[in-house]
Structure 1
Amino acid sequence: MLTLTPVEAVACCSPLSREPLSQEAAERVAPMLKALADPVRLRLLSLVASHEGGEACVCDLNDAFELSQPTISHHLKVLHEAGLLDREKRGVWVYYRSSPTALSALGTLIAGDRS
Structure 2
Amino acid sequence: MVRAAASGTVDYSRADPTNINWRIKHKLLLTELQRKEEQALAEHLHRHWCAYVAHGSLTEDSFKNIKGAATDTLTELQALVFPWKVKTENKDEKGTIDDETQRLVNKYKTWRDKKAEK
User: What's the TM-score once normalised by structure 1's chain length?
Assistant: 0.31
TM-score (norm 2): 0.30
More strand by share: 1
Which structure carries more helix by proportion? 2
